[in-house]
Amino acid sequence: MTLPKTVFRPPFAVTRASHLVSVVTDIAASRAFYVDTLGLIVSDEDRDTLYLRGIEEGCHHSLVLKAGSAPVCERVGMRVQTEEDLDLAQRHFAGAGLPAQWVEVPFQGRTLHTSDINGTPLELCAQMTTQPRRIMDFDAHHGACPQRIDHFQIFCPNVPAACEFYMAMGFRLSEYIVRDGTDELRMVFLQRKGNPHDIVFAHNSEQRLHHVAYTAPEVHHLMYIADLCGKNGFGRAVERGPGRHFGPGYARYVYLRDPDGHRIELFNNHYQTIDMEDEPIRWELSRLNRLGSWGPGPSASWLNEASAFAGTPHRLRDAS
């Protein structure tokens, strides 16, 4: 198989996964879950919107929750390095025949709304309002102590097209999964910030958001947040783990579902992928969760359920 080549000087510079904008049906219930239980920091809020961030994050928000009638993912946010990169991005997407519209977004600088080749709604900005990091405010730390946003995982009907599209923008492939005995791409792990992934695409018949992931400080936070979810009435939110991925990323994790079914991963270890000689790691499906693995495999809900993107049919609880 010939994988797309790494582009070390892309047309514009994406720096990292930045933020997620989701619609929830009950802001109070979402606040009880994300703030009171998980431990995200409130940057701002009003009657209809919550702006949240991790304890290490100085930028205003990494998760925006908006009140609405149906739970959907509105936008996947990426940061670019400079305002010039934002202009270059606008020309890049428009030149590819994709939407490229300037919009006003609270607490962000100039913001571009666009989408990728498979229809993932994207939001790009170069600047965001800052607030003091809460990393040393130990009295404000509770729950899982989420530190910072790390990556998104997206269900996608055309993984090879997604891989080629993002690598042309300078994303680097760290790991990938193929069907046994073939070169058929089933999952790709793509990064810009120097760890295994900022965005992941997994094969599915529909384009949907599988999860957003935050780092947590220690392994015991993953166990503790499961216990705390149970105590706070969110016991059914614990969908998978705590456990370890015996495959791409090697991370120790727990996956949770919020009151609307949106999924969040908390995990606490990564490896470095900065050096140009780092080659992507190939996995066949049969190798996953085999060598040294323990515990149950992923549930049917984890394998099949995901959040619809805004403007697409609402299929959050349907299996593919």
Range of the domain at 172: 144-306
Neighbour-count burial of 98, counting CB atoms closer than 10 A to its CB (0-12 exposed, 13-18 middle, 19+ buried): middle
Q: Report the range of poorest mean pLDDT among 125-139, 272-286, 292-306.
A: 292-306
Residue 135 structure tokens: 């990393």
- The rounded percent of the chain whose pLDDT value lies above 90 is 82
Shared domain for 96 and 158, answered yes or no, is no
- Taken in order 100, 101, 104, 110, the sign of the CA dihedral is positive
- Give me the pLDDT at residue 34, please: 98
Query: pLDDT tens for residues 211-248?
Result: 999 999 999 999 999 999 999 999 999 999 888 887 78
CATH at 152: 3.10.180.10
Residue 133 structure tokens: 């990091």
Shared domain for 201 and 276, answered yes or no, is yes
Mean pLDDT on 259-283: 92
Shared domain for 85 and 156, answered yes or no, is no
Give the integer Cα–Cα distance in Å for 199 and 50.
Answer: 23
Phi, psi of 248, rounded to the nearest 5 degrees: -50, 135
- Give me the pLDDT at residue 22, please: 98
Query: pLDDT tens for residues 26-36?
Result: 999 999 999 99
Whether 33 and 235 have beta carbons less than 8 Å apart is answered as no
Q: What Cα–Cα distance (Å) separates residue 312 from each residue in 141, 267, 282?
A: 37, 30, 32
Phi, psi of 80, rounded to the nearest 5 degrees: -110, 165
Residue 20 structure tokens: 């997620």
Mean pLDDT on 240-264: 90
DSSP letters for the chain: --PPPP-SS-SS-EEEEEEEEEEES-HHHHHIIIIIII-PEEEEE-SSEEEEE-TT--BS-SEEEEE-SS--EEEEEEEESSHHHHHHHHHHHHHTT--EEEE--TTBSSEEEEE-TT--EEEEES-B-B----TT-GGG--TT----EEEEEEEES-HHHHHHHHHHTT-EEEEEEE-TTS--EEEEEEESSSSS-SEEEEE-SS-EEEEEEEE-S-HHHHHHHHHHHHHTT-GGGEEEEEEE-SSTT--EEEEEE-TTS-EEEEE-------STTPPPEEEEGGGTTTTT--S----HHHHH--EEBTTS---TT---
Shared domain for 159 and 21, answered yes or no, is no
Domain assignment present for 248 = yes
Phi, psi of 148, rounded to the nearest 5 degrees: -165, 155
3-state secondary structure labels for all residues of 46-59: CCCEEEEECCCCCE
Do β-strands 172-178 and 185-191 pair in parallel, antiparallel, or remain unpaired?
antiparallel
Q: What Cα–Cα distance (Å) separates residue 233 from each residue in 71, 230, 237, 261, 303?
A: 20, 5, 9, 15, 24
pTM surpassing 0.85?
A: yes
- Give me the pLDDT at residue 71, please: 96
Mean pLDDT on 103-120: 97
**Domains of the chain: total:** 2
Domain assignment present for 135 = no
- Give me the pLDDT at residue 315, please: 38
- Give me the pLDDT at residue 292, please: 59
Mean pLDDT over each residue of the chain, to the nearest integer? 92
- Give me the pLDDT at residue 293, please: 65
Domain assignment present for 79 = yes
Mean pLDDT on 292-302: 79
- Give me the pLDDT at residue 317, please: 37
What confidence tier does 271 reach under pLDDT thresholds 50, 70, 90?
confident
Q: Does 314 have pLDDT greater than 60? A: no
Domain end, chosen from 129, 160, 186, is at 129
- Give me the pLDDT at residue 318, please: 36
Beta bridge partners of residue 114, listed in sequence order = 100, 122
Domain end, chosen from 65, 96, 129, is at 129
Domain assignment present for 200 = yes
Domain assignment present for 191 = yes
Q: Does 319 have pLDDT greater than 70? A: no
Mean pLDDT on 287-291: 66
Single-letter residue type at 277 = E
Shared domain for 171 and 96, answered yes or no, is no
